[in-house]
Amino acid sequence: MLDEQAKKTLLRKIPHGLYICGVKDGEQVNGFTASWVMQGSFQPPLVINCVRADSGSHAMIKNSGVFALSFLDENQKDLAAQFFKPKQRVGNKFEDVEFYEGPETGCPIIQDSLGYVECRVVGQVDHGDHTVYVGEVIGAGIHREGNPLLLESTGWQYGG
C-alpha cells in the first residue's frame, strides 16, 4: 500500500537546482523555470530535462529538438519566479531580461546567469505528466562564479 503522505514528503526531499530553460521554435522564443534536471552521462555529455507535457515549451522542444539551460545564482529567486508563470498568462517573459541567442541552438540564454549549456535532444520518454528529454550538450559557457539556486532554499515545493 502506498502511503501518499510519505511519498509526497520523501519525493520533496530530493534536491533540485533551479534553471531557466530557454526554447526556440522558428522565430518564437520562450523560457520556463526547470527543476527536474540532472546530468545523465559523461560521454557523450547528456543532460536529463523533465518538461511538463501540456506546456507550450514542451511543444517547442519537440518541434525544434533543442533547448538551453541557464544556471541561476542563489540570489536569483525573483528571476526563477518570473519564469514559473505560463506565457499565455504573462506574455513575453524575456521582455525585461537581458539574454542572447545561444551560438549552437539559437535558444535564449540569460546573460546574468552563472553560465549555460545548450542541448540537442537525442532521446525522450513520454510517461506521466512530464516528458523526460535527454539532451546531448553541444555548447556551454561560464558567465561568472557563484553558488547555484536550489529549490529547497526558496521555500517553494515542486514535486511529490
Give the mean pLDDT of the chain.
Answer: 92
pTM: 0.92
**Domains along the chain with CATH numbers:** 14-153 (2.30.110.10)
Structure confidence at residue 90 (pLDDT):
53
CA distances from 46 to 64, 95, 119, 121, 152 (A): 18, 30, 8, 9, 24
Q: Please tell me what DSSP assigns to residue 9.
A: H
> Cα dist. 144→17, 34, 104, 114, 153 in Å?
17, 20, 20, 5, 21
Residues of the chain with pLDDT under 70: 86-91, 159-160
Contact 84, 18 (CB under 8 A): no
- pLDDT, residue 143, reads 98
Q: For residue range 73-99, what is the model confidence (pLDDT) as tens digits? A: 999 999 999 998 765 555 678 888 999
